[in-house]
Structure 1
Amino acid sequence: MGRTYAVSASPWSLAEIRRAVADTGHLLRFRSGTVRRPAVIRTIWMVVVALTAAAVLGPLLAPGAGADEGLALNTLIILPTFMIGFLGLTVAAAVASGGGRELLSGEDAVAFPVSPTTDHLGALLMAPLNIGWILQAWFLLGATTFAHGLDALPWLLTIVVLWLVLATALGQVIAWSVESVRRRRHGVAIVRTAGVAVAVLLAWLQLSGHLNDVLDQVPTLELVVAGLQGFSVAWVVAVTSLLALTAVALVLGGVACHSAARRQTRDALKVETQHFAAQPTPRTLWGMLVRIDRASVWRAVPMRRGMLVLAVGPGLIAFAGGLTWENVIILPGLVASGGALLYGVNAFALDGRGGLWRETLPVDPQRVWTARSWVMAEWLLAASVITVVLAALRAGVPTASEVAAVLCLLLVVTVQVVSTSMRWSVTRPFAVNLRSARATPAPPTVMVGYSAKLALSTTLTAMVFSTASWAAPWHVVVLLAVPFLAWSAFRWWRAGLVWTDASSRAAVVTTVAA
């Protein structure tokens, strides 16, 4: 569906910028006013701030932090590559979401149109709510303080923070530009061809040994060097350049957003108008339920794009960086959490008004619950496996404990995320239209809490198995997975009792169908 916008001035004009900033503030206050439990949101924000502080200060307490040799030196050497990786993931996430997440949904924009510049600013503010953005930002900040120790405060850390802001703004510029091309005639084919070409080029650079030469040409190395010099002329120039480039990116993003807003989303419209041939009826009720749920996921544009980014993006970065198995074990938690934030935290919203029809069918609610959970587990597990396979290509030959840790973690985080997501789906349903590539399954303020909770739980779980991969034999690692699986299965079962209750199920269905 196309978006409806207010008639606006040139994105370059000061009047348009002032109006867009004011409208964005109104939208933020409106969104904050619709929160059901404001106290919980304030608590979540405090937790996010506390975790960010821990990500910055915690590595300072690690053995060898700031040393001129060992792991700290190696981290400092590859810090510029980490910065490039953050930019790549930010661009990929923004492109996959069709220009960035919505602060105002398309349905609301019909009655209350906003300018493309306002939409652009809202997408920028929504970018950090992506779990990949949060975890990568924490990782980059922690790597900075660990590599340079207390000397990183505040000089090198300031440059890294400004790089996070610039990378986010550049990601929006590229995403809106790609979306503008995608909405033109033959634009979908052009974008897909360009994506394949970029992937082939990166593969060729890696296989030919030229990737490091290309990465050395990116100015992140100069930024890190300027930060290592402390307060100096080089540091002032670096900070000034980052601020200036960010300002330029904000303006260019508004221009690209104006260009994209004038055209319809061709791939979304194609899905809406496409005819699907009837398939043979499955022999079992289970097969029918799973087919319906799979179709609702795989036919949705944001799901397909998100799957590609989640599965391939972290794996390619791990492949390019040559991460060891100890670090590869962390990736499944990131991928599973990101997949849940695409739709899993409000899983029944994909039915929309069709949920009313499905409730008239003579089907046991427990079977519906199990089938929906199964399809979500398939989705998350498939993405995680692709990521691990790509990362394993350069991770070397794993030990028995590392193999056990990876396999167990794949299963544990999948069950853990499915359990949490399905519980949220029945206790906090929302009426959202997930047909749009830019839609989120819950309001922005709620997504903050979901992202923080999933990031914390999956990261801690991954750290446990990462530690066990080198500190314990493989059979101990397998036994370690048992309590995690048992607890997640118990929580999933308890959430299923809520769904099987007729009054609770009616509340969920009528909410998502509104």
Structure 2
Amino acid sequence: MTAPALPTVAEARWLRPVRDVGHLLRFRSASVRRRSAFWWTASVMVGLTLAAATVPALVPATDDERLNVGVLLPTAMAGLLLIAVVSAVASGGGRELISREQGVAYPVSPATDHLGALVLAPLNIAWLIQAWLLLGAAAYTVGWQWSLVTLQVVLLLWLALATAIGQLVAWSVEMVRRRPRGVVAVRIVLCALAASALIVQLSGRTLDLLDRVPTLWIVAGGLGGVRWQWVLTLGAELGLLVVVVVAGVVPVTLASKLMPHDELRMESDTHTPRRMPWTDLSALLRLDRASVWRSVPMRRGLAVLAIGPGLVALLGNLPWEQATVLPGLVASGGALLFGVNAWCLDARGALWRENLPALPGTVFWARVIVLAEFLALASLATIAIAALRAGVPSVSEGTALVCTVLVVTLQVVGASMRWSEQRPYPVDLRSARATPAPPIMMVAYSSRLAVCTTLTGLFFSFLGRVPNPAPSLFFAILFLTWSGARLARTAHRWNDPVTRARVVVTVAA
């Protein structure tokens, strides 16, 4: 029996990152606390994807109704690409497969980091919802026939291609951001792009621009079953996917040789001492606010959350009835920055904080106030941007909007503090690419928050159409009472020294 041929140097160079990603995935999966919950969640996600790609095809509809949805497919594909780019740029190049501290002891190459970020990119609720909507719209457009399979294959490849393009753009932006005066250059380019989009919208040329979206020929190639146009489209997507994935190694390698200016400036900056606070609560508030506002991912994430939905409302000229949904989406997104694991902000400092002469309840409510401030500020910034075109709301609309902000903020804060006490994780949030919880848990958290806050926003949007603002106030008091009671129960559990010790030991690990 002949021995298997050893791979050449070039083959080993290209295959090693793929093998290393497999090793890191097994390493991460071995640290999962509840394997059954992990596989159950993964099965649900796969099942929802299959359902989104097939069930809408069984819905009875006329040809005109299917055509109206099919016309929007190219625009939806372009929207998913935009979301992939924005999420990757905001996270500094994509999510980390292994944290920076854990990766010190392992030879994780830039190519491995790049491929790992690509694997984790779909574990994002915004990405998943857009993907499900895209596959569902395609199934509804085609119906139950053989063209459904060919079109969905093309769209699945587009999902992978859009994710890879977003990753390539994000690493390129991160490479520029880490160069001298790169932060200023990136901000200028982003402001120019936002201004250009606003000009296009105000000039009324949005539809003309959407008609020229290059994703139209991809949809056309996926229709009609197996034919030479479908094979050509499939080959073009596969070839472009390989080129984009390989090209992404270049900017990530160059970026890895440069130090991140934002993170270094935050860690090495000096601050003038202020007057001593008068109470324990004010001292803890000052400490927690500094932990949040001096963190790069928090500031960058807040900017994306506040400006992104606001620009969508501004460009889409959303009325106040529809803009009422935005505060809930912004609040749920803000909680995913650190709120779902709020005590990880302290990291090893949690041991020092527990030695402070402050009551546990004071520590708890200080963290609650800071998280509520963070979420409310993001929601109010979004509303301020949306108000530039929405005009002055009526009394009922304004009341419903204020009630929505208050209710969803307390809902998200209550859920975040409850999850932070029940399932803490040790996370280093100094990196712009860090997440406060494992990827699969982030999907679960974001799904629950998005569903809850969206339903609440829709409910108050309906109440905003009622001429009398009394119903909004009545239901707001009910929601606030319920969420406040649940938050008070969480505060009571935090006073238990055993519960508090478990959280502190976990986040300080």
Where on the TM-score scale, by shorter chain, does this alignment land: which range?
0.7 to 0.9
Tell me the distance in 2 between the aligned counterparts of 1:267 and 1:79: 38
User: Which has the higher mean CA deviation after the structures are superposed, 267-276 or 154-163?
Assistant: 154-163
Shift of residue 105, structure 1, vs aligned partner = 0.9
2 CA distance for matches of 1:58 and 1:325? 33
Task: Label 1:309 to 1:36 Cα distance change in 2 as closer, same or farther (>3 A).
Answer: same
Q: CA deviation at 1:468?
A: 6.0
**Percent pairwise identity:** 52
Structure 1 residue 221 and structure 2 residue 216: aligned? yes
1:16 to 13, 18, 27: 13
Partner of 2:358, secondary structure, is coil
Q: Which shifted more, 147-156 or 111-120?
A: 147-156
Q: CA deviation at 1:471?
A: 9.2
Offset at residue 161 of structure 1 (A)? 2.8
CA deviations 1:136-173 (Å, max 9, x no partner) are 33333344444555467334443333222211110100
Counterpart residue number, 2:367: 372
CA gap of 1:15–1:394, structure 2 versus 1, over 3 A, is farther
1:70-89, aligned counterparts within 5 Å? 75-89=69-83
Does the 8 A contact of 1:44 with 1:448 survive in 2?
Answer: no
1:265 pairs with one of 260, 264, 268? 260
- Residues 354-433 of structure 1 correspond to what in structure 2 (within 5 A)? 354-391=349-386, 393=388, 405-433=400-428
One-letter amino acid of the counterpart of residue 122, structure 1: G
Q: 1:1-38 CA deviation, whole Å, 9 max, x = no partner?
A: xxxxxxxxxxx954233111111111111111111111
1:138 aligns with 2:132: yes
The 3-state SS of whatever aligns with 2:64 is: coil
Who is 2:430 aligned against?
Answer: 435
**Using a 3 Å threshold, how does the CA distance of structure 1 residues 47 and 411 change in structure 2: closer, same or farther?**
farther
Q: Provide the rounded CA distance (Å) in 2 between the counterparts of 1:411 and 1:360.
A: 34
Map 1:13-412; keep pairs closer than 5 Å: 13-56=10-53, 67-69=63-65, 75-146=69-140, 149-150=143-144, 153-322=148-317, 328-391=323-386, 393=388, 405-412=400-407
Cα contact 1:92–1:313 (8 A) shared by 2 = no
Measured at CA, do residues 229 and 263 of structure 1 come closer, stay the same or move farther in structure 2, by a change above 3 Å?
Answer: same
Q: Is the 8 A contact 2:94 2:170 kept in 1?
A: yes
Matches of 1:291 and 1:434, distance apart in 2: 19
Give the CA deviation at 1:356: 2.3
Residues 65, 148 of structure 1: 8 Å contact kept: no
Contact 2:284 2:366 survives alignment (8 Å)? yes
- What is the rounded CA distance, in whole Å, between the counterparts of 1:311 and 1:467 in structure 2? 24
Q: Provide the C-alpha distance between the structure 2 equivalents of 1:238 and 1:386, rounded to a whole number of angstroms.
A: 43
Please list the CA deviations of residues 200-219 of structure 1 after superposition, one character each: whole Å capped at 9, or x if unmatched: 22222222334443333320
Any idea what the Cα deviations from partners look like across 1:181-213, whole Å, max 9, x if unmatched?
A: 111222222222222222222222222334443
d(CA) in 2 for partners of 1:61, 1:395:
38
Query: In the aligned structure 1, how far is the partner of 2:105 from the partner of 2:472?
Result: 55
Higher mean Cα deviation, 209-218 or 102-111? Answer: 209-218
5+ long unaligned stretches in structure 1: 1-11
| Alpha-carbon displacement from aligned partner over 1:322-365 (angstroms, at most 9, x marks no partner) | 55666544433332222212111111111122222222222222
Residues 65 and 147 in structure 1, CA contact (< 8 A), matched pair in contact too? no
- For residue 46 of structure 1, what is the amino acid of its counterpart? S
* Paired letter, 1:89: I
**Which amino acid in structure 2 is aligned with residue 38 of structure 1?**
R
Give, in whole Å, the separation in 1 of the partners of 2:54 and 2:298: 36
| Residue 57 (structure 1) shift | 5.2
Secondary structure of 1:496's counterpart equals helix
SS at structure 1 position matched to 2:71? helix
Partner of 1:4: none
Amino acid at match of 1:16: R
For 2:305 and 2:396, locate their aligned partners in 1 and report how far apart those are by CA, in whole Å. 26
Closer, same or farther in 2 for the Cα pair 1:147/1:401, shift >3 Å?
Answer: farther
Q: What's the secondary structure of 2:122's corresponding residue?
A: helix
SS in 1 for 2:33: coil
Change (3 A) 1:242 1:24: same
CA 397–271 in structure 1, closer or farther in 2 if over 3 Å, else same: closer
Query: What is the letter of the counterpart of residue 85 of structure 2?
Result: V
Are the equivalent residues in 2 in contact too, given 1:156–1:227 (CA < 8 A)?
yes
What is the CA–CA distance in structure 1 between the aligned matches of 2:474 and 2:47, rounded to whole Å? 32
Task: Work out the number of aligned pairs and report it.
Answer: 501
Name the CA distance, whole Å, in 2 between partners of 1:149 and 1:388: 39
Gaps of 5+ in 2: 1-8
Rounded Cα–Cα distance in structure 2 between residues aligned with 1:276 and 1:252: 41
Q: 2: CA distance between counterparts of 1:481 and 1:506?
A: 35
- Per the normalisation by structure 1, the TM-score is 0.87
Verify the 8 A CA contact 1:334 1:458 in the aligned structure 2: yes
How far 1:470 moved relative to its partner?
A: 6.3
Structure-1 separation of matches of 2:124 and 2:458:
21
Instruction: Confirm or deny: 8 A CA contact 1:31 1:445 kept in the other structure.
Output: no
Secondary structure of the equivalent of 1:123?
A: helix
Separation in 1 of the partners of 2:461 and 2:209? 31
| TM-score, normalised via structure 2 length | 0.88
Cα distance in 2 for residues equivalent to 1:326 and 1:43: 37
Is contact 1:67-1:149 (8 Å) kept? no
Task: Provide the C-alpha distance between the structure 2 equivalents of 1:388 and 1:374, rounded to a whole number of angstroms.
Answer: 21
Separation of aligned partners in 2, 1:408 and 1:77: 37
Q: Structure 1 pair 30/456, CA: closer, same or farther in 2 (3 Å)? A: farther
